[in-house]
Amino acid sequence: MAYYFPKKPVKLDYIYFHVGRFVVRWADAEDAIDSCLRLFAAALNDPLYQIPRSTKRRIEAFKAGLAKCRLSPEQHSRGKALLARFEAIVEHRHWAVHAVLWNESWEAKTTFVSYLRVSLSDGGLEQRDYDLAEIEELADECGRLHVELWDWLTSDLGASTPKKAEKAARKIGVKLPRKLPVRKHL
């Protein structure tokens, strides 16, 4: 089977635009999660802790941070709700990034795109169809999630500046030394 692109890939450009926008917005949401994890790391002061890179480990670390830090019930429930929204997008992001376009969906006259990937459970092939409007909504949700995670971190937890982040880490953390080493990024 030969793979080719159509001579005038108008629909392919739309697919690239929507999927690319989704992936960029996802990266923004992951960045906000990482910032929360940095605050948790400063609060819990574990010398062996490293910010996780895989999405699965990010989620586990965020849950552990919520459980270990001293948060108010409102802060805890809002953090948990934000994480649930993040988790709801994970599978769609996996399809958008790690599957291949299939079934000549770039040529079809519909707004659907078909993805194909190898199943992780049994090694067979799985197919999933997305409407471009669905991909657009997922990108919008990632954008909203990015803003709301930063709002939770800076407003609810109070980590809006490096000095305030240190104060927030002391407030939610187990115990910190009197003077923390100077860090460029928290």
**85 neighbors 25 (Cβ within 8 angstroms):** no
Strands 125-131, 100-102: pairing is unpaired
| Most confident of the following: 1-15, 27-41, 112-126, 170-184 | 27-41
- Among 100, 70, 98, 80, which residue's Cα sits nearest to residue 172? 70
Query: How high is the pLDDT of residue 135?
Result: 87
Greater confidence (153 vs 110) lies with 153
Domain coverage including residue 47: 10-101+133-172
Q: How far apart are CA 136 and CA 131, in angstroms?
A: 9
Query: How high is the pLDDT of residue 1?
Result: 45
Query: How high is the pLDDT of residue 44?
Result: 85
Kindly report, residue by residue over 137-174, the tens digit of the pLDDT.
999 999 999 999 999 999 999 888 888 888 888 888 75
As for how many domains the chain has, the answer is 1
Greater confidence (91 vs 117) lies with 91
- Among 43, 29, 67, 27, which residue's Cα sits nearest to residue 144? 29
Kindly report, residue by residue over 88-107, the tens digit of the pLDDT.
999 888 888 877 666 665 55
Query: How high is the pLDDT of residue 7?
Result: 53
Tell me, yes or no, whether 121 lies in a domain. Answer: no
The residue whose two tokens read 């599957």 is: 99
Tell me, yes or no, whether 44 lies in a domain. Answer: yes
Tell me, yes or no, whether 164 lies in a domain. Answer: yes
Tell me, yes or no, whether 46 lies in a domain. Answer: yes
Tell me, yes or no, whether 89 lies in a domain. Answer: yes
Q: Which two tokens stand for residue 184?
A: 């460029």
Q: How far is CA 102 from the centre of its chain?
A: 25
Helix axes 73-98, 10-44, angle to 10 degrees: 140
- pLDDT(86) > 90: yes
- pLDDT(182) > 70: no
Tell me, yes or no, whether 47 lies in a domain. Answer: yes
- pLDDT(57) > 70: yes
Query: How high is the pLDDT of residue 108?
Result: 57
C-alpha R_g of the chain: 20
Tell me, yes or no, whether 14 lies in a domain. Answer: yes
Residue 28: in which H helix or E strand, if any? helix 10-44
**153 neighbors 43 (Cβ within 8 angstroms):** no
- pLDDT(181) > 80: no
